[in-house]
Structure 1
Amino acid sequence: MPTIDVNGTSLAYTAAGPESGTAVVLSHSLFFDRTMFVPLAEILAGEGFRTVAYDHRNQGGSAPDRRDRLDMDTLAADAAALIEALGLGPCHFVGNSMGGFVALRLAARRPDLLLTAAALGSSAEAENRLEEYQRLFGVVEAHGPGVIIDVLLRVMLGATSLTSRPELCEPWRTFMAQLPPAIAESVHGVIHRTGIETELAGCATPVLAVAGSEDETYPQPISGRTIAEASGGKYVMVEAAGHSVALEQPERVAEQLLGHFATVRR
């Protein structure tokens, strides 16, 4: 597992696909790590793209950090620095949930680094369930995610996955239940983010919003139409997927992404 020092932290990443291919950078959800993109990355690499999936600071194999350095603006700066350090730009940038917050910030602020951006199961708004998630934060901070693992799974995955795909859900149940209480510092950064709608006005980067039909965390129009309207982009709905749409329906997401990528030329 390679790591790279950028923006005052160390980020773990995994690359796949031909080195000559146009890069697709994959930015994961809170409570996951870069491996949530393994199925999607395999499809994109098979189409000739160079995929780079990385872990956010304080998550996965990347360096831990304190709360005041885990805001979404800092994570967006990390992503920009990663792209520059690895020579990946201009690239396609795809983020699920937390990664989507990063994708939208890059689309607005660093169009020089991006060909396109895609926000999956994400939002351009400030958190509209702050009080509810603040209570979640308190439990995770005190005890770790394991004590609320069933609640967490319902937040992160759709009903179809939870009821009919144990081979997908059970490994992630184990993964999330074993996360340390320090993951609460990243939760704080997510739920206390600012909105990005104003910055997205006049966005020069083509943006695609992908909403899961079973996403109860950011249901339509939050994860689809609102992002598209703010950015001048497009949105699509993927059936039988919840909040972690990239993980739950990688083939359908890949189909949408490939069409999105094809709208621009490197």
Structure 2
Amino acid sequence: MNPVIFVADDEARLFCRGPGQAPERKSAPVLMLHSLFFDGSMFDAVRSLLPATLAVYAPDHRGQGQSEAGRYAPSIDRLASDTIGIIEALGEGPVHLVGSSMGGYVALRIAERRPDLLLSCVLSCCTAHAERQPERFAALEQRIREEGTAQLGPTLLQTMFGERFVAENSDACQAWQRHFEGLGPSAAEAVHGVFSRPGYEALLNDLRLPLLLFSGEMDRAKRPADMEYIAGRVPGSRHVTVADSGHTPPVENPALFARELQRFWDSLTPGAKTHAPG
């Protein structure tokens, strides 16, 4: 990992995991946007499986991970502005954008505001609808503000991952539980940003980007039907349901996630294969 620091328009320093080395050949950058309660490291396993021909970046949203909070609350629109700034700072033209859950909402907002900055879009385990249970999220936000997240590790594991991943209790699962429990009261700001988001139904009618969709068959937070709704309204989009995954396929099944990404990007440039040998 090669850390890169981007400076937002309010001087907040945004931490980003960059390519370990310069790509073997020039290709459009890939930007991966993480889920609520995570940081950009949730894509580490996926990034390690992608070929050296790709320059892959995984920033931490403001106020999350190693990024500063800055002066602005982390609304979806604010995170979209930060990400637009990162894309423009890279100076390499349009990017392939990948968004998981919260990152998916940010990706949709960028597609709405600046479609010229995107070559393609990948959405994982999100929805085009505004939050349908805002009272549940409001209660979670209040609890985190008052108590932090130290007692929420098991609950967040059950929400963010499927039964298989939790039952296996792997080193990765244990590490994410520790991560969740260490987030503290500041995580409430990001929770508010997610549940106060608008709906994007109207955008789908005009969205003409190549679009790949992921859902987890065991997802307790968002249903595969949410992604199917998007697929049915964006011509040419493709929907992959990950059978053994909950809400976070990039962590629960990184090999499948990386393979489907490669297949998708290869399909956009016939004859130009991005996949690694073997």
Is the pair's TM-score, using the shorter chain for normalization, greater than 0.5? Answer: yes
Query: Match of 2:64?
Result: 59
Following TM superposition, by how much is the alpha carbon of 1:97 offset from its aligned partner in structure 2, in angstroms?
Answer: 0.6
**1:227 corresponds to which letter in structure 2?**
I
Cα contact 2:111–2:118 (8 A) shared by 1: yes
More helix per residue? 1
Aligned to 1:2, which of 1, 4, 16?
4
Following TM superposition, by how much is the alpha carbon of 1:48 offset from its aligned partner in structure 2, in angstroms?
Answer: 1.6
**1:113 corresponds to which letter in structure 2?**
L
Separation of aligned partners in 1, 2:92 and 2:98: 14
1:50 lines up with 2:49 in the alignment:
no
Query: Match of 2:77?
Result: 73
C-alpha change, 1:226 and 1:47, in structure 2 (3 Å) is farther
Q: How does 1:175-254 map to 2 (within 5 A)?
A: 175-222=179-226, 224-232=227-235, 233-254=237-258
Following TM superposition, by how much is the alpha carbon of 1:159 offset from its aligned partner in structure 2, in angstroms?
Answer: 0.6
Which has the larger displacement, 123-132 or 90-99?
A: 123-132
SS at match of 2:136: helix
- For structure 2, the residue ranges without an aligned partner over 5 or more in a row are 273-278
Number of matched pairs: 263
Query: Match of 1:90?
Result: 94
SS at match of 1:117: strand
Cα contact 2:147–2:185 (8 A) shared by 1: yes
SS at match of 1:256: helix
Query: Match of 1:123?
Result: 127
**2:251 corresponds to which letter in structure 1?**
L
**2:27 corresponds to which letter in structure 1?**
G
Separation of aligned partners in 1, 2:41 and 2:73: 23
Instruction: Deviation per CA, 1:115-150: give whole Å up to 9, x if none.
Output: 110011111111112111211111111111112221
Separation of aligned partners in 1, 2:258 and 2:22: 17
Aligned to 1:151, which of 135, 149, 155?
155
> When the two structures are superposed, what TM-score results if normalisation uses the length of structure 2?
0.89
Cα contact 2:137–2:192 (8 A) shared by 1: no
C-alpha change, 1:2 and 1:211, in structure 2 (3 Å) is same
Following TM superposition, by how much is the alpha carbon of 1:21 offset from its aligned partner in structure 2, in angstroms?
Answer: 3.4
Cα contact 2:30–2:96 (8 A) shared by 1: yes
SS at match of 1:237: strand
SS at match of 1:231: coil
Alignment RMSD: 1.7
Separation of aligned partners in 1, 2:9 and 2:203: 22
Separation of aligned partners in 2, 1:100 and 1:139: 25
Cα contact 2:95–2:118 (8 A) shared by 1: yes
Aligned to 1:24, which of 27, 30, 52?
30
Cα contact 1:145–1:179 (8 A) shared by 2: yes
Aligned to 1:13, which of 10, 13, 16?
16
Instruction: Deviation per CA, 1:215-259: give whole Å up to 9, x if none.
Output: 11001211x201222433221101111111111111101111112
**2:57 corresponds to which letter in structure 1?**
V
> When the two structures are superposed, what TM-score results if normalisation uses the length of structure 1?
0.93
C-alpha change, 1:6 and 1:231, in structure 2 (3 Å) is farther
**2:55 corresponds to which letter in structure 1?**
R
